[in-house]
Amino acid sequence: MAPIIYVSIKLALKRYKRDWLFAMCFIFSVMALLVPLLTVMGLRDGIIGTLSERLISDPSNLEIVPEGVRDYDLAFFQNLENDPDVRFVIPNTRNFAFTLALGKPGYNTKRVAARSTKKGDPILDYVEPAVGNEEVGLFDIYPSKTVAEFFDAKPGDTLTVTVSRTLNGYLETQNLDLAVKGIIPLWALGDQDNSMMLANLQLLEKIERYFEDRPVPELGWPGNRMETYPARYQTFRLYASELDAVERLRVRFERGGLIVKTSAKEIANVKSLDSAFTVVFFTLLCVVGGGAFASAVSGSIDQVAKNRKSLACLNLLGMGKFHLQIFTSVQVTISGLIAAVGACGFYLVVAKILNEVFYGKMRDVAEVCRLSPEKLLISVGIVVIFMTLASFYANKSLSDIEPSEGMRDV
Amino acid sequence: MNEGIMTVRRIVKTRPGGSGYRLMVDKLVVREGDRIALVGQSGSGKSTLLDMMAMVLKPDRLGRGGEFTWNLDGVTLDVWNSWKRGGASAREKIRRSHLGYVLQSGGLFPFLNLRDNILLSAWLKKNPKGRRAESALMELAAKLNIGHLLRKLPGNVSVGERQRAAVARAIIHRPKLILADEPTASLDPPTAEKVMELLIELSEGTALVMSTHDEVRARKFGFEIHRIVVEDEGPRRGIKAMLFKDSRLPGKMPANIRNR
């Protein structure tokens, strides 16, 4: 069996070489259908893809900010951490307007908003230098670029936080050295205060305990209120796992009576644009797919009709119908492959022209037309498979070829 | 009972197209090295018989005691039953391995050069990469004087050269039987003579069945003549044509056949 398939393919290639003019006509007709389709795919990926990436890459677009304060226990956060729609959640200290005095020798003191963080915080993905997915140490901080510039602080520097409380008319102060692990770029802050820093939640809770006149033995800070109570929180910082999850979470929170602020509107705009492009794309895909199929089928039928005598003679020489099918289909498959590769080449030219024409004319979109090499490769594969299937379908007309036709003449 | 490479007894076939009358073959046995010429008027059914021998045309029926078998190296293929059982692959295998064809105008493929046209039979029979086929090609091409034409397409050589290439294609894979359908009909007499000489010389030991109008040349080259006789007034069941070995040729169709 195998050698006969080899012969079928070998004959098909030789036949193809001789019949290149017809093949070129077929190839160009398929390319004329494929190039516009690839261009629409490129525009969809270029415009929508860039906008979506921007939405995703800016963590503030995935952030869900609760408005006002409520009382949350640890179980609330444990539930959210197990929720597939939630990428990251962390409670804030009870006092949301939690500001601390930061200092450095030779610089004025600056009051900065302190927000809690821990391993997995999306904002930490963007700190400079990259910290990876490391645990946040108890005395690690990540100041914003504004704060870092104020102190000329670099990663590895030490900043001192001064914690003060007034007890019985006396001002008590504690100083704590904190290590700068990375700087947060301003664009990653979203709606957060520019003069802020991220610090370990446990550290902020210890500072809060000190404010409340409770002892913090780990840091050697005294306190008079000895009573303990379960941890409670008033707000939190939460990031959805994906753009679609933002709206789902918003609906769920609002059903639970919690009003939240999200970027759902911006996301909806991009989604709507995406849907419109998808409709255009699939409409074109149907038209082009139908056209390409018809083209491949008619091309194959024409091949069979024109080569009826040759096919009958090959059958006479002992090639079965299956091998004749391979013989004709290989030629259509090769044409499909050349057409697909050629269409990708033409598409790249068209994309380059479009990108140059529209460069800088669309906000937030650097390349209006782009397709990844993987997608181009998949497109080529689909076209080749599609063409082969079409030719197999068309080759049903081989079934009525009689080898006795080959006895007469070729 | 098998007496040769191929045995045909009492098969009946309605000729496709044309007058549509029935052809009956009472007995045709092809043995190794046989030279058989099928003669008869145009449209008598010579090519139809060749088609049946090549197993590309199914007989309508077998008469009582009839058979249609191929016997290859002690293995018998019942062709008649293989049609019923859909044994297409077995018939194709015999066509690839044990049959060679010389058609009226060569039957070469226009998209293959002469070399590939000739080698095609060898490719289909065995390993397409075989070197033995290449050396056989060179030997045959030298004998047929077409060595200098091997890279040319069939459309770029003369009819005689095409026919010589067709002879090479029919022989290169060492078949058991060569079927030739009026192989010299489209050639001028000197070329026809040369092609026949080469066909006879190169197919030494291989059975050769040829349809022809040129009975004189067939006799000259030692062919046993089998004649298809067509009667103007056919017998009752429509059988108007019958194949007879020339030495047994009766004046009229036998009554027992006529009334079958």
For the segment B36-64, the average pLDDT, to the nearest whole number, is 86
CA distance B249 to chain A (A): 28
Going by DSSP bridges, is the β-strand pair A260-261/A99-103 parallel, antiparallel, or unpaired? unpaired
Which chain B residues touch A306 with a CB distance below 8 Å? none
Least CA distance to A11: which residue of chain B?
A: B112
CB atoms within 10 A of CB A384: 20
In the predicted model, what is the mean pLDDT of chain A? Answer: 85
Does residue A292 register a pLDDT over 90?
Answer: no
CB contact under 8 A, B116 and A14: yes
| A216 in contact with chain B, both atoms CB, cutoff 8 A | no
Residue A170: CA count within 13 A, CB half-sphere: 4
Nearest partner of B147 among B159, B135, B131, judged by Cα: B135
Q: Yes or no: say if A296 and A334 are a contact pair by the CB < 8 Å rule.
A: no
Cα A46 to Cα A276, A362, A371, A380, B256: the distances in Å are: 14, 11, 7, 19, 87
Within 10 angstroms of residue A338's Cβ, the number of other Cβ atoms is: 18
Chain B residues whose CB is inside 8 A of the A21 CB are none
Could you tell me the pLDDT band of residue B246, with boundaries at 50, 70 and 90? Answer: low
Q: Highest-confidence range of A112-116, A279-283, A328-332, by mean pLDDT? A: A112-116
- Taking contacts as CB-CB distances below 8 angstroms, the residues of chain B near A308 are none
Q: Is the pLDDT of residue B255 over 70?
A: no
The per-type count for chain B, helices as H runs and strands as E runs, is: 9, 10
> What is the distance between the alpha carbons of residues B174 and A264, in angstroms, rounded to a whole number?
79
| pLDDT at B115 > cutoff 80 | yes
> Distance between CA atoms of B21 and B14, rounded to whole angstroms?
6
Read off the amino acid at residue B24. Answer: M
Q: What angle do CA A170, A175, A177 make, to 5 degrees?
A: 170
Is residue B127 less than 8 Å (CB to CB) from chain A? yes
Amino acid at B55: M
Q: How far is B217 from chain A (nearest CA, A)?
A: 22
> Has residue B78 got a pLDDT over 70?
yes
Cβ neighbours around A150 below 10 Å, total: 17
How many contacts does A have with B, using Cβ atoms within 8 A? 94
Asked if B121 is an interface residue toward chain A (Cβ–Cβ < 8 A), one would say yes
For the segment B149-197, what is each residue's pLDDT rounded down to a tens digit?
A: 999 999 999 988 998 899 999 989 889 999 999 888 888 888 888 888 8
Task: List residues bridging with A324 in a β-sheet.
Answer: none
| Interface subset of A 17-36, CB within 8 angstroms of B | 17-19
Distant-in-sequence, close-in-space partners of A362: CB < 8 Å, separation ≥ 6 = A47, A368
Mean pLDDT of A298-305: 80
> What is the residue-wise DSSP string for A49-112?
HHHHHHHHHSHHHHEEEE-S---EEHHHHHHHHT-TTEEEEEEPPS-SS-EEEEE-TTS--EEE
Q: CA A154, CA A157: separation in Å to the nearest integer? A: 6
Tokens linked to B96: 């690839």
Contact B30, B52 (CB under 8 A): no
Tell me the C-alpha distance between A206 and A222, whole Å.
12
The pLDDT of B194-210, averaged and rounded, is 89
Nearest to A409 among B105, B109, B112 (CB): B105
Residue of chain A whose alpha carbon sits nearest to that of B118 = A317
Strands B239-245 and B22-30: parallel
Q: Of A54 and A297, which is predicted with more confidence?
A: A297
Residues A10-37 have a mean pLDDT of 87
Joined together, the tokens standing for residue A358 give: 């529209």
How far away is chain B from the Cα of A48, in angstroms, using its nearest Cα?
Answer: 50
The strand pairing partners of A179, in sequence order, are A140, A158
For residue A209, the model assigns a pLDDT of 87
pLDDT at A243: 82
Q: Which residue has the higher pLDDT, A320 or A112?
A: A112
Location of structure tokens 């963590």: A59
Closest chain B residue to the Cα of A319, Cα to Cα: B92
3-state SS assignment for residue B72: strand
Q: Helix, strand, coil % (nearest 5) of chain A?
A: 55, 15, 25
The minimal CB distance from A317 to the residues B88, B95, B153 is found for: B95
Closest chain A CA to residue B92: A318
Mutation site, A17, A19, A315, A407, interface B, largest B CB count within 10 A: A407
Q: A-chain residues within 8 Å CB-CB of B120? A: 7, 11, 317
Q: Within an 8 Å CB–CB cutoff, is residue A318 touching chain B?
A: yes
CB atoms within 10 A of CB A127: 22
The tokens 């969809």 sit on which residue?
A44
Q: Residues A369, A42: contact at Cβ < 8 Å? A: yes
Domains of chain B: 6-258 (3.40.50.300)
Lowest mean pLDDT across A398-402, B47-51, B158-162: A398-402
Identify the CA nearest to A404 among candidates B98, B57, B102, B182: B57
Beta bridge partners of B35: B208
CB contact under 8 A, A404 and B120: no
B152 touches chain A (CB under 8 A): no
At A364 the pLDDT is 61
- A407 → chain B, closest CA residue: B103
List the single residue in A4, A403, A404 with the smallest CB-CB distance to B124: A4
Overall average pLDDT of the A219-226 stretch: 86
- CB-CB: which of B57, B92, B96 is closest to A404? B57
